[in-house]
Amino acid sequence: MSNVDILGNSKADSLAEQAAKAAALPLNIAAPIIYHHRLVSRIQLRLATILVNLPNRPAPIREKPHPKPSLDRLIDASSHIIFLDDDRYKCARCSDSFHKSDPVVKHWLGIACQEIGSSLDRPTPLCFSQRHVGNLVTHASHKLNMF
């Protein structure tokens, strides 16, 4: 290391010190920020200490999940008159039908069938205007009747 290197290093240090003084924030601006930074640090350390020293809590007792009813059991309990036509479950009473792999089938079987049909010779209005037949669904604004 030469004398020029040493002089250059000391000059760089003095210039860096001058630049730091020129760029420093006034104490009235920096003091509240420093105070709150230290306060937050102390609070976080206090909370971490509390968490570490807490006793172990027992694990919550979880209920065993109820087994999902099988499709055969749902068909037996359903108010629909179900028959299998090709790959579709159909209701002989309300004429709704769903593909056997459709995930909505289980929900549909849980809904009460609209007991449609009577001995009268006139059209019978359907209770719910929206019907699902095949892959088609009627529009809710239609007033459907069963003949």
pLDDT value, residue 128: 66
Residue 2 is classified by DSSP as -
pLDDT value, residue 44: 97
**Nearest alpha-carbon partner for 109 in 137, 140, 68:** 68
Ranges assigned E (strand) in the chain: 82-85, 88-91, 97-99, 124-125, 132-133, 136-137, 145-146
Domain map of the chain by residue range? Answer: 3-53, 71-146
Measured from the Cβ of residue 51, the count of other Cβ atoms closer than 10 Å reads 8
Please report, for residues 33, 37, 38, 42, 49, the alpha-carbon distance to residue 45 in angstroms, rounded to integers and kept in the order given. Answer: 18, 12, 11, 5, 6
pLDDT value, residue 115: 59
pLDDT value, residue 15: 93
Whether the full predicted model's pTM is greater than 0.75, yes or no, is no
d(CA 91, CA 35): 74
d(CA 33, CA 143): 70
pLDDT value, residue 120: 41
pLDDT along the chain (147 residues), means of 10: 88 92 89 96 97 91 88 86 88 83 88 61 64 78 73
